[in-house]
Amino acid sequence: MNSRFITGLPRTRTYWFSQYFNGLHEPLNGCKSRQEFYDKVEGKLTCDCGLIITDWQEHWPDSKTVIIHRDVNEVIDSLSALMTVTTLTSVFLKRQARALKEITGLHINFEEINDNLKQICDYLGEEYRSDSDLINKNLQLENITGDPESLMIWER
């Protein structure tokens, strides 16, 4: 099966999707090269808010991608409960929110994920499980972790 992706800003349920689909969550973290990232996600469903800075759609031009849109101010508020959000971070997130609109794929509003879950599953070629215990659970990582060095591989 081809690689498939779900992306959005932080706090847009990428962790939830990784649990529902048994997919990879934030596999970009820890990668030391582009090839390591490509190898890690090849043929898998990947849920990563950092995808926007990678070249995944150029590397896998036929990949299916779901883009989750959430109001950037809600994202900032949610992140603020976990970390200090600087002006630089806010500017970056706002730029990311604009860039997400340009990505090719299925665009879904954050508030409408549950109502569109069957459509998301069909689009990605994944099984829709209406009886899943996860559908109404609020799964969030309480610790924001990441490897800033992994983001730098896309600057080289």
Mean pLDDT, residues 72-79 taken together: 88
CATH value at residue 75? 3.40.50.300
Q: Is residue 149 part of a domain?
A: no
pTM: predicted TM-score of the whole model, two decimal places: 0.86
Q: What does the pLDDT look like over 22-32, one tens digit per residue?
A: 999 989 888 89
The span from the CA of 11 to the CA of 82, in Å, is: 11
User: How does the average pLDDT of the chain come out, rounded?
Assistant: 85
Mean pLDDT, residues 72-96 taken together: 82
Return the top range by mean pLDDT from 61-70, 76-85, 128-137: 61-70
List Cβ<8 Å contacts ≥24 apart for 11-15.
Answer: 11/70, 11/74, 11/75, 11/78, 11/79, 11/140, 12/49, 12/68, 12/69, 12/70, 12/75, 12/110, 13/68, 13/110, 13/113, 13/139, 14/47, 14/48, 14/49, 14/68, 15/47, 15/139, 15/140, 15/141
Residue pointed to by tokens 């929110």: 97
The span from the CA of 43 to the CA of 107, in Å, is: 21
Predicted pLDDT of residue 155 = 66
Who contacts 14 (Cβ-Cβ below 8 Å, separation ≥6)?
A: 6, 7, 8, 25, 26, 47, 48, 49, 68
Q: Is residue 23 part of a domain?
A: yes
**pLDDT bucket at 2, cuts 50 / 70 / 90:** confident
* Domain hosting residue 111, numbered range: 4-134
Q: Is residue 141 part of a domain?
A: no
Q: Is residue 68 part of a domain?
A: yes
Q: What does the pLDDT look like over 99-146, one tens digit per residue?
A: 999 999 999 999 999 899 999 999 999 999 877 666 665 655 555 555
Total domains in the fold of the chain: 1
Q: Is residue 38 part of a domain?
A: yes
Q: Is residue 69 part of a domain?
A: yes
pLDDT at 65 over 90: yes
Q: Is residue 91 part of a domain?
A: yes
Predicted pLDDT of residue 61 = 93
Q: Is residue 144 part of a domain?
A: no
